[in-house]
Amino acid sequence: MLPNQRLDTDAASAARVSFSLYGNHIHNSWVRETSGRLKMSVAKGKLGLVVLLFIIFIVGCLVGLGTSSYLYYRHVFSKRLDRNATDLGEQINTVSRLRLGEIDGVINDLEMSIDGNIRSVALTPHIPRTDYRYKALRAAKTYREIYPSKSEKASQVNEALREIPKIDSFKCESPLCRLVDRVKDEAE
């Protein structure tokens, strides 16, 4: 190899190294810039996904709230209104019959209603002694001790009240208290 040729080769080699360094610099800056754009794009995508999931969550909550409100109204509140309307009709019939002097018929209807309610309340399993249903059953037992059931369901009523104790002492002025006192006075 000739000395001049070696210079050319060294110059070419240096140029290649220089170009390669410059190209590497361009490549590295392009990679950094592209990487930065890609990271920003990924960050925007993640943020968009989070926003989308949040919107879906809010819409789901609103749909759930609307559905539960509708179901509550349809199956609980409207049933309560229907029951109130039925009770109102029965109360008007009862008061009308009392005003017409049909006292025995009204008492008989109320006694039948009491028997039905005793049987349904007594079906509740394990009623605690502090529960209002237990207290209502004790009042029913006390009432049935004074006025036994004469309906065709009397045996079921007696069985339902078999283990329920009657109220022995009263500290109130309720109609049941007054009725028990009157019966005691008449027995003496």
pLDDT in tens, 16-71: 545 454 555 555 565 566 666 666 676 777 788 888 899 999 999 999 998 888 88
More confident: 158 or 25? 158
Q: Quick one: CA dihedral 16, 19, 25, 30, positive or negative?
A: negative
Under 8 Å between Cβ of 121 and 136? yes
Residues 6+ apart with CB under 8 A from 48: none
Q: Is the pLDDT of residue 145 over 70?
A: yes
**Cβ atoms < 10 Å from Cβ of 92:** 10
Its pTM stands at 0.53
Of the candidates 141, 136, 131, which has an alpha carbon nearest to the alpha carbon of residue 168?
A: 141
Give mean pLDDT, residues 156-181: 81
55-60, long-range: CB < 8 A, 24+ apart: none
User: What does the pLDDT read at residue 165?
Assistant: 84
For residue 116, which amino acid is it?
G
User: What does the pLDDT read at residue 55?
Assistant: 92
Interatomic CA distance for residues 121 and 185, integer angstroms: 31
One-character DSSP codes across 118-158: HHHHHTSSS--TTSHHHHHHHHHHHHHHHS---STTHHHHH
Interatomic CA distance for residues 170 and 184, integer angstroms: 12
Interatomic CA distance for residues 152 and 112, integer angstroms: 9
